[in-house]
Every structure is written in C-alpha cells, then in structure tokens.
Structure 1
Amino acid sequence: MMRSLLVAIGFLTRLPVPAGVFDDERAKAHSLAWYPLVGLLIGVVLAMLAWLLRNSPMVLSATLIVLAWVLMTGALHLDGLADSADAWVGGLGDREKTLAIMKDPRSGPAGVVALILVLLLKVAAIQSLGTFQWLALLLAPLLARASLVSLFITTPYVRSRGLGAALANAPGRACAISLAMTAGLCALAKWRGALALLVAVLVFGLWRHACQRRLGGFTGDTAGALAEMVEAAVLVALAVH
C-alpha cells in the first residue's frame, strides 16, 4: 500500500521518493487509486502558499501560486496538453496522424497557444477567487487527478506502451472507493464542492467523448490534457460564482 502511494507521489509530483518503488509493477498498477490523495496533497501545499502570500499583490500572488504548481508537478500534464492540442489540430480528424503527432516531442503553435491560455486562465481565476481561494486550490488538483482515475477505469488505453500502460490493470474496487471519497470531500464543501464536481464531470465527459471518437480510447497525453482542463475549469467556475 505504501509503495503504491509512493509511486503515485513520485509520478505526479517532483517530491523525492525511493527510486526502487518504480520497479514494482504491482505497486504501479495500484498507484492509480492514490491519485486523488496526491491531488489533495498538491492542493494543501498550494493553499498554504496562498496563505503565506495573502498580503502580496493579487497578480503576483496568483502568478507565484501557478509557478509553484508547475514546479511541483514538473509540468507533467502541461506537456500532455500541448501535445494533444498539436495533435488535435494537425491530425485533421485522422487517428493515426493524431497519434503520430502526439509522439513528436516538439511543440507547435497550437500547443503553445493552449499552454498560454490555460496558464492565463489559472492566474486570472486564482486572482479572482477571494475568500474561498484556499478551497478552490484544494478542489482543482483533487478533481483533476480523480478524473484520471475515472478515465483509466472507463476508457481503453490505446498504446501498448507508455507511461499509462502500467495503470491499465489498476484494481477497480480501490479506484471506485477513491472516487467515492473524492465525491465525499466535495460534499463537505457544500454548493461550491458540488459545483466543482459538476464542472469536472462535464469536462471529463466531453473530453472522453472526443478521445473515443478520434482515437477509440486515450493516451497519456490526452490524460494530461484532461487534468489541465479540469483544473482550469474548476478554478474558473468557482471564480465566477
């Protein structure tokens, strides 16, 4: 159990964990159920940073929070967002061409634009959140990583290899419990938690449908794109209400 948690922490963040845990295939598969907890851990760190920066200018504070967010996660999902944006535009509806573009490590114009827009949305939303900024910073990374759990247990992984291949055999029961606990945490946040959960489910459903239609499933890059879209959408939704 502890090894699988360490795998999840080591994969989703840049926090140091023993390198040996990644040699355990069973721990890799079981790590998926811990993703929401790691998302909550990220949120706690961000909320603490927001408290420390509470007397700073709002734009500066929001920018530093997003910077810390990127550094803590190693821009893992941002990379997937950029690759997915390039592939969706350049693939022109063709499955094989879309998959080929996603494997290209270079970023094209669509990827760059997607990164800029998502980061700007996050900074603007965090700046606008006001009193409940800490709550949004907890919910956004939590729900983003819960959406990855949902994606893996409901949707085919279309590559035989890749970072997500090891998660294809994740235990369904543990993942279902993890998702139920995520929903329970959202319930504790009352209507704001319900709104965040609703937005996350909506983004998940739309992106899953798009991936199914284009690819017949998903890849690690499209999973990363989903996490970024859920984070941005949750922050924006809570900022405008």
Structure 2
Amino acid sequence: MNGPLLAVRFLTRLPLPHSVPDEGDFARAFPWFPLAGLPVGLCLVAAFFVGSMVDPWVAACVGLASWIFFTGALHLDGLGDIADAAGASHADKSRLSQVLADPHIGSFGVVAIVQQCLAKLVLLHALAAPGVTLSAPALILVPMIARTAPLGWALALPPLHKGLGTLFGSAVRWRDIAAWAALLLSASVLVAPALLIAPVVAWGWGLWLRRRLGGISGDGHGAGIELVETALLLALVLAR
C-alpha cells in the first residue's frame, strides 16, 4: 500500500482497502500524516454545517461526534495514556513505562479525555454561534495542521521505547516538515491567520514531553494532536 493511502487508513476509520503493512510501509506513510487530516476535516465540516442548520449545540455535538468517529478515538486514547503516565510518575518516575504499557485507563486518563471532549464541544459551539463567520477551509485546516506536528516531534525528541515512535523518527526528514509547514501555514495566512499559532503550540508540547516524560511515543503523538487541535479551535474562537 502506498504511503498516502496507508496514512489515511492508519489515522482514520474510512473504509479503505485492507492490507497487512510492514515497517517499511509505515515509514513511507508517516510523512503523509498531514494528508490524513483532510478527510477528517471534510467530515467534520460536513457534520458541523449540517448541524448548524438546526442549532449551535447540535452543530457542536454532531461535529464532535464526527471527529471522534472518523478518527476511531485513536488520539483520545493517547491523551488518556499520557495523562495516566504523567500522573502516576509524578512521585515515582520508574512507573512511567509501566503505566504507558498498561492497556487499562485510570482516573487521570478519564478526566483528561472528558475535559478534552468538553473543550472541543464548547469551542465548536462558540464557532457555530449566531453572527460568527467561519469558513469551511479554516475548520478543515485544523486536523491537517495538527497532524503535521508529529513530524517535528519525531525528529526533535528521543523515543521513549522501541515501537512506531522509533520508526517514525527514522522515516521523516526536515524537508517533509518544511514542505507541509509551507503549504499549510500559507493556507492559514489566506483563510485564518489565527492558525499561525500552531508552531508555538507544537513546540510547547514537545518541550513538555522532553522535560516531563523524557521523549516521545505513539501516545505522545496522539495526545499532542488532540491538544494542538483544541488550541487551534481556541485561536479561531478568539479571532472571531
């Protein structure tokens, strides 16, 4: 399977041809992660604007439901795992790897996921409020920009353990980041300059991961995508 198609299949629940990818396939797919944000954004926009014909809260609810459904809650799972690991390792850093490897969710993870969903719900409602002008391209750019950030984290941060995080670090190149950044930031200038805050948010999350956890993992990528998306929604709301 080619890189772009595998990136979309890996990060979404869209019905695409099934295959059994190997490590080489994943390596080729990683630089195309921002592209996977395009169908997510299109589905989000469709649900959001259909819901807005009824009520702002309906728009927010169906928009968020679409967002979660088409990503399979993949990144929310990462957010919950990182919250549990950060909470459990606060007093004993030796528990970090143990908690990250645990498939069960703890109280920190539950709170983080609920808070994240509430934040997106409230921000989407604010963008659907009467009198607010929101362009569809601005909303589509949010998941695309958020999925560009992992390219930078993979290069800048050491992997916490052997896995996809290690593979991603060896697969991406600075020219991949530069190309996507130039494309998406240029689009942001045209449709929603508020989205230019993205590099600062991505840098902040990378700094937190390095100082608190010591590196990056698949969960760190997923959590970061969620947090960058929420930060970009907040930026759109503040720029109304």
* TM-score scaled by length of structure 2: 0.90
Question: What is aligned with 2:2?
Answer: 3
**Aligned partners of 1:82 and 1:111 also within 8 Å:** yes
Question: Of residues 142, 157, 160 in structure 2, which corresponds to 1:158?
Answer: 160
Distance 1:175 1:204, change over 3 A: closer
Deviations 1:101-159 (A, max 9, x none): 11111111111111111111111111111321634421221111011122112222221
Distance 2:199 2:178 in 1: 15
Stretch of structure 1 that moved more, 86-95 or 102-111: 86-95
Contact 2:201–2:228 under 8 Å retained in 1: yes
1-structure distance, mates of 2:115, 2:213? 25
The one-letter code sitting in structure 1 at the alignment partner of 2:180 is: S
* Cα distance in 1 between the residues matched to 2:183 and 2:28: 16
What corresponds to 2:180 in structure 1? 178
Letter in 2 for 1:9: V
**Aligned-pair distance for 1:188?**
2.1
Of 193, 213, 216 in structure 2, the residue corresponding to residue 215 of structure 1 is 213
* Contiguous gaps of at least 5 residues in structure 2: none
TM-score, normalised by the number of residues in structure 1? 0.89
CA distance in 2 between counterparts of 1:160 and 1:103 reads 12
Task: Report what 1:118 is aligned to.
Answer: 116
Tell me the equivalent position of 1:38.
36
Look up the match of 2:150: 148
Counterpart of 1:168?
A: 169
Between stretches 145-154 and 135-144, larger displacement belongs to 135-144
Shift of 1:13: 0.3
Residue 187 (str. 1) matches residue 186 (str. 2): no
| 1:164 counterpart SS class | helix
Q: Could you tell me how far apart the structure 2 residues matched to 1:17 and 1:167 are? A: 22
**1:89 — aligned with what?**
87
Identify the residue that residue 98 of structure 2 maps to in structure 1: 100
**3-state DSSP of counterpart to 1:132:** coil
Contact 1:149 1:179 in 2 (8 A): no
What is the root-mean-square deviation in Å for CA atoms of aligned residues?
Answer: 1.8
Match of residue 134, structure 2, among 129, 132, 135:
132
Are the structure 2 counterparts of residues 205 and 28 from structure 1 closer, same or farther at C-alpha, using a change threshold of 3 Å? same
CA-CA distance at 1:93 after TM superposition: 5.5
CA offset digits 1:168-223 (Å, max 9, x no partner): 2214133432232222222222xx33x2121x222212221121123331111111
Cα deviation for residue 7 of structure 1 reads: 1.1
Which of 5, 26, 29 aligns to 2:27? It is 29
CA displacement at 1:167 relative to structure 2: 1.7
Equivalent residues, number? 234
Cα distance change of structure 1 residues 117 and 230 upon mapping to structure 2, 3 Å threshold: same
Distance 2:40 2:216 in 1: 25
**Partner deviation per Cα, 1:28-79 (whole Å, 9 max, x = no partner):** 1121221112112211221122222231111122111101110100000000
SS class of match (2:2)? helix
1:13 matched to which residue of 2? Answer: 12
- Sequence identity, in percent? 35
Paired residue for 2:54, among 39, 53, 56?
A: 56
Pairing 1:196–2:195 present: yes
